[in-house]
Amino acid sequence: MEEEISKVAKIYILIMFILLISLESMWVFRYGVEGIVLSTVFVVAGITFETVKIQTSYTTSYNVLLSGGMLVNILATIFLNPFEASLVAILSIAVSSVRRLKRKEGVHRYYKYVFNISQIGLSTLITALISKSIARHLNWYVVYGVIAPSLYMVLNALFIAVGLSLDRKVSLLAMLKKNLQFLFPSILFIFPSVAVILIMYSFSGLLILPIAFSLLILALLGNYYRKLYEDSKIENMMVLVKSLEERDEYTYGHSRKVADLSERIARKLGLRESHIERIKVAALLHDIGKIGISDTVLKKPGKLSDEEFEEIKKHPVKGYEILKSLRRFRNKEALWVKYHHEMLDGSGYPEGLKGDQIPLESRIIAVADIYNALTSKRPYRDAMTKEEAIEEMKKMLGKIDPKVFEALLEVLEEEERDDT
Band of residue 241 on the pLDDT scale cut at 50, 70, 90: confident
The predicted model gives 367-387 an average pLDDT of: 87
Band of residue 28 on the pLDDT scale cut at 50, 70, 90: low
Top-confidence range, 19-23, 299-303, 414-418: 19-23
Q: Is the pLDDT of residue 337 over 50?
A: yes
3-state secondary structure of 253: coil
pLDDT at 266: 95
pLDDT tens-digit map of 34-57:
567 777 878 888 887 776 655 444
Nearest to 178 by CA among 266, 272, 265, 267: 272
**Cα separation of 259 and 281, whole Å?**
7
User: For residues 204 and 225, which has the higher predicted lDDT (pLDDT)?
Assistant: 204
Nearest to 323 by CA among 297, 284, 367, 293: 284
Those residues with Cβ within 8 angstroms of residue 93's Cβ, 6 or more apart along the chain or in another chain: 46, 50, 69, 116, 117, 120, 121
Determine which of 97-101, 142-146, 195-199 has the lowest per-residue pLDDT on average. Answer: 97-101
pLDDT at 61: 39
Nearest to 318 by CA among 289, 342, 338: 289
pLDDT at 104: 61
**Cα separation of 154 and 374, whole Å?**
49
How many other CB atoms sit within 10 Å of the CB of residue 228?
11
Which secondary structure element, helix H or strand E, spans residue 229, and what is its range?
Answer: helix 208-247
Cα dihedral sign for 130, 64, 178, 145? negative
3-state secondary structure of 207: helix
Backbone angles phi, psi at 382, to 5 degrees: -80, 165
Nearest to 11 by CA among 118, 131, 141, 148: 118
Nearest to 215 by CA among 49, 344, 6, 30: 49
Cα angle for residues 243, 246, 252 (degrees, 5° grid): 120
Nearest to 281 by CA among 63, 60, 58: 60
pLDDT at 64: 43
pLDDT at 27: 75
Q: Is the pLDDT of residue 375 over 80?
A: yes
Q: Is the pLDDT of residue 246 over 80?
A: no
3-state secondary structure of 354: strand
pTM above 0.85, yes or no: no
User: For residues 108 and 263, which has the higher predicted lDDT (pLDDT)?
Assistant: 263
Q: Is the pLDDT of residue 60 over 70?
A: no
3-state DSSP percent of the chain in helix, strand and coil, to 5: 75, 5, 20
Nearest to 66 by CA among 157, 225, 215, 188: 188
Band of residue 23 on the pLDDT scale cut at 50, 70, 90: confident
Cα dihedral sign for 38, 39, 44, 48? positive
pLDDT tens-digit map of 312-326:
888 999 989 988 888
pLDDT tens-digit map of 248-263:
655 668 888 999 999 9
Cα angle for residues 123, 127, 133 (degrees, 5° grid): 155
Determine which of 80-89, 195-204, 350-359, 399-408 has the lowest per-residue pLDDT on average. Answer: 195-204
Considering just the CA atoms, what is the radius of gyration of the chain in Å? Answer: 27
pLDDT at 32: 63
Determine which of 58-62, 115-119, 209-213, 353-357 has the lowest per-residue pLDDT on average. Answer: 58-62
Which secondary structure element, helix H or strand E, spans residue 255, and what is its range?
Answer: helix 254-268
Band of residue 102 on the pLDDT scale cut at 50, 70, 90: low
- Greatest Cα pair distance, the chain, in angstroms, is 87
Band of residue 112 on the pLDDT scale cut at 50, 70, 90: confident
Band of residue 1 on the pLDDT scale cut at 50, 70, 90: very low
Mean pLDDT computed over every residue of the chain: 82
pLDDT at 260: 93
Q: What percent of the chain has pLDDT over 70?
A: 82
**Cα separation of 199 and 78, whole Å?**
13
- Structural domains present in the chain: 7-228 (1.10.1760), 248-419 (1.10.3210.10)
β-pair partners for 64: 56
